[in-house]
Amino acid sequence: NAGVTQTPKFQVLKTGQSMTLQCAQDMNHNSMYWYRQDPGMGLRLIYYSASEGTTDKGEVPNGYNVSRLNKREFSLRLESAAPSQTSVYFCASSGRDGEGNEKLFFGSGTQLSVL
């Protein structure tokens, strides 16, 4: 049981390049989320997905697209990267733990630098 797995862990892009951040969870959770965290700041919600085939915009969706490929996978795509998208990206899923708490389970993050 790996939890939430994100790839890659690090990425450097040039302005205008595109890339896809991958996220997968093996906990059979319905909901998945993408957050970004700029240095010294809190997490901001980019997109979320309530279930396979559905996605919704969060607080800062501009410049991003997402795909909920199936129940396990939720990918984040940058079509034309900009330096303002330099950040750490966290994927999360939500579900119940063994003690009945409904909570977010986070991946280890992807550190993205756009030059």
Partner 1 sequence: LAKTTQPISMDSYEGQEVNITCSHNNIATNDYITWYQQFPSQGPRFIIQGYKTKVTNEVASLFIPADRKSSTLSLPRVSLSDTAVYYCLVGDMAINNAGNMLTFGGGTRLMVKP
DSSP 8-state secondary structure symbol assigned to residue 73: B
Number of residues that bind partner 1 (CB under 8 A): 34
CB of 33 to partner 1, least distance (A): 7
Task: Give the Cβ contact number of residue 104 at 10 Å.
Answer: 16
Of 14 and 40, which CB lies nearer to partner 1 in the complex structure? Answer: 40
- Residue 84 CB, nearest approach to partner 1 (Å): 19
* Cα separation values, 52 from 43, 61, 73, Å: 24, 19, 9
Query: Residue 52: CA atoms inside 13 Å, Cβ hemisphere, count?
Result: 9
Spatial separation of the C-alpha atoms in residues 73 and 5, rounded to whole Å = 10
Site for partner 1 in 9-48 (CB under 8 A): 30-31, 33, 35, 41-45, 48
Interface positions with partner 1 (CB under 8 A): 4, 30-31, 33, 35, 41-45, 48-51, 54, 56, 58-59, 88, 90, 92, 94-97, 101-104, 106-109, 111
